[in-house]
Amino acid sequence: MDLSAINPALLIASLMVAATPILLAAIGELVAERSGVLNLGVEGMMITGAVCGFVIAVESGSPWLGFAGAAAGGAALALLFALLTQVALANQVASGLALTLFGLGLSALIGQGYVGIKPPRFARLDIPVLGDLPVVGRLLFGHDPMLYLAIALVAGVWALLRFSRAGLILRAVGENHDAAHALGYKVVRIRILAILFGGACAGLGGAYISLVRVPQWTEGMTAGVGWIALALVVFASWKPWRVLLGAWLFGGITVLQLNLQAAGVAIPVEYLAMSPYVVTILVLVILSADKSRAPAALGRIFHASQ
């Protein structure tokens, strides 16, 4: 056992990378849920985003176009969900599950010719002076642009929900859609926009896996990350900064357990492998002991006639 082999700065830097897909998907889902829509299709939208992003990046040679395509792909799948639940008034739980299964199948179909191909490289930011600082340089200034975008999204969503009129309306729709409707807000339109935002974010999260973290395309490569993002939103009590905390915690322990293994710590691998789940849930459950609760209209169907 040699714990000194673990470099804390590198550990934190790589936990931020490991957490980014979860963070992106979770912040999108948070917005959807705050508007009162429970979309269980996060995994399906992520994997669709992963394959769309990969295919477009490979064909165009530009990772940026790939990410744009991933957001579009995720949003397109989310639009299907929006049509089902907001226009056809289908059950949200069933539609969401169907969306995940559909997304997994569709992505496998689209990605058939793309297994084993190398995508174009998505370079890390190279900031001249700041990036060369010891420890801090690698930690704060040595990442790829998408990682900063994810954190900026969290901050943006937080500010929007807390300080803006749009955020207030979104929350009103999620708490009591009948009252919001009575006040003249377009409940269905607002929800569709929130669902699309959620889909685009999930798509970006998926593409982050296929273009940056791995980078490669394989069937089912999101491997349940969408479900973790979904759970994270609940355990984070629908609060953006807690989603960030939860994602970093989860990513951190995932990376740490591999580090401990490589350093030869004599803890059975099975315990190490389940530790990210246990610790993340534990911490967030303790945090959510305060008064926070789910949006009151979460998962309920709205129709203007009622």
Number of residues assigned to the chain: 306
Among 97, 151, 258, 279, binds another protein (CB under 8 A): 258
Task: Give me the least distance between CB of 260 and another protein, in Å please.
Answer: 9
Distance CA(198)–CA(78), nearest Å, equals 8
Is 47 an interacting residue with respect to another protein (CB under 8 A)? no
Is 275 an interacting residue with respect to another protein (CB under 8 A)? no
Closest CA to 214 of 6, 11, 18, 12: 18
Closest CA to 40 of 304, 279, 298, 251: 298
Is 118 an interacting residue with respect to another protein (CB under 8 A)? yes
Among 233, 255, 284, 297, binds another protein (CB under 8 A): 255
Is 268 an interacting residue with respect to another protein (CB under 8 A)? yes
- What residues numbered 8-27 form the site for another protein, per CB under 8 A? 10-11, 14, 18
Is 269 an interacting residue with respect to another protein (CB under 8 A)? yes
Is 207 an interacting residue with respect to another protein (CB under 8 A)? no
Task: Give me the least distance between CB of 269 and another protein, in Å please.
Answer: 5
Is 286 an interacting residue with respect to another protein (CB under 8 A)? no
Is 213 an interacting residue with respect to another protein (CB under 8 A)? yes
Distance CA(277)–CA(280), nearest Å, equals 5
Number of CB atoms found within 10 A of residue 161's CB: 19
Task: Give me the least distance between CB of 25 and another protein, in Å please.
Answer: 15
Is 135 an interacting residue with respect to another protein (CB under 8 A)? no
Closest CA to 84 of 28, 44, 31, 26: 44
Concatenated DSSP letters of 190-221 = HHHHHHHHHHHHHHHHHHHIIIIIS-S--TTT
Q: Of 262 and 285, which has the nearer Cβ to another protein?
A: 262
165-173 own/partner pairs: CB under 8 Å, 24+ apart: 170/31, 170/34, 170/35, 170/194, 171/34, 171/295, 173/35, 173/36, 173/297
Q: Of 168 and 269, which has the nearer Cβ to another protein?
A: 269
Contacts with another protein by CB under 8 A lie at 5-7, 10-11, 14, 18, 115-116, 118, 121, 209, 213-216, 218-219, 221, 223, 254-255, 258-259, 261-264, 266, 268-270, 273
